[in-house]
């Protein structure tokens, strides 16, 4: 199945000098991404990539993502528009050569199948990773909940002592 934001690029196009590549989502692609990510709307998405070989010969994609999205505030349940901006680096690896490293600090990888990388899907995945899981509209604060303090475990003994 073809992803919503599909920008295939042959790895062989990336020469020794590297390659700059821009992914810009159309209105239809933005609507499909919003549906996929369960957002009210994705208004725009642009991701600028700088592709280059590292010293070990691996292909690195340095990305700068800027997206305008609509999210629903978890406090007020109102929709609000916000900008997501993310700088990232991913390593392109051949299919089947992905690492199993669970380290969250390790560099993310994108699969290069048959010498093709999909920079559109890489941009979509980075947007999904950058989304706030508990979005709050600017200026919205959690309501204060008044709670009665729990009585101390020996409070009833103190009351008995005062009566005698």
Backbone angles phi, psi at 144, to 5 degrees: -80, 135
User: What confidence tens digit (pLDDT) does each residue in 100-145 have?
Assistant: 777 677 677 787 778 889 999 999 999 999 999 999 998 887 777 7
User: Cα separation of 124 and 35, whole Å?
Assistant: 12
Looking at per-residue confidence, does 164 or 8 come out higher?
A: 8
Beta strands 8-10; 19-24: pairing state: unpaired
- pLDDT of 26-70, one tens digit each? 999 999 999 999 999 999 999 999 999 877 667 899 999 999 999
Residue of 128, 51, 129 whose CA lies nearest to 91 = 51
- Look at residue 16 in the predicted model and tell me its pLDDT: 83
The pLDDT assigned to 162 comes to 63
Residue 159 pLDDT > 70: no
- The structural domains of the chain, with segments of one domain joined by +, span 8-163
pTM confidence score: 0.79
Ramachandran category for residue 55: left, alpha or beta (phi over 0 → left; psi -120 to 50 → alpha): alpha
pLDDT, position 47: 98
Q: How confident is the model at residue 164 (pLDDT cuts 50, 70, 90)?
A: low
Number of Cβ atoms within 10 Å of the Cβ of 147: 6
Dist CA 62 CA 77 (whole Å): 35
């Amino acid at each position: 199945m073809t992803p919503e934001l599909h920008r295939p690029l042959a790895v062989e196009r990336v020469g020794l000098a590297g390659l700059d590549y821009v992914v810009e989502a159309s209105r239809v692609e933005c609507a499909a991404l919003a549906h996929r990510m369960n957002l009210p709307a994705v208004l725009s998405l642009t991701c600028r990539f700088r592709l280059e070989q590292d010293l070990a010969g691996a292909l690195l994609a340095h990305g700068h993502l800027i997206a305008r999205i609509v999210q629903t505030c978890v406090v007020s349940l109102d929709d609000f528009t916000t900008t997501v901006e993310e700088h990232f680096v991913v390593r392109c690896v051949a299919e089947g050569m992905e690492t199993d490293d669970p380290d969250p600090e390790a560099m993310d990888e994108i699969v290069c199948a048959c010498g093709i990388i999909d920079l559109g899907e890489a941009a979509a995945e980075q947007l999904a990773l950058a989304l706030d899981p508990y979005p709050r509209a600017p200026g919205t604060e959690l309501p204060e909940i008044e709670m009665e303090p729990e009585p101390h475990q020996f409070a009833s003994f103190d009351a008995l002592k005062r009566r005698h």
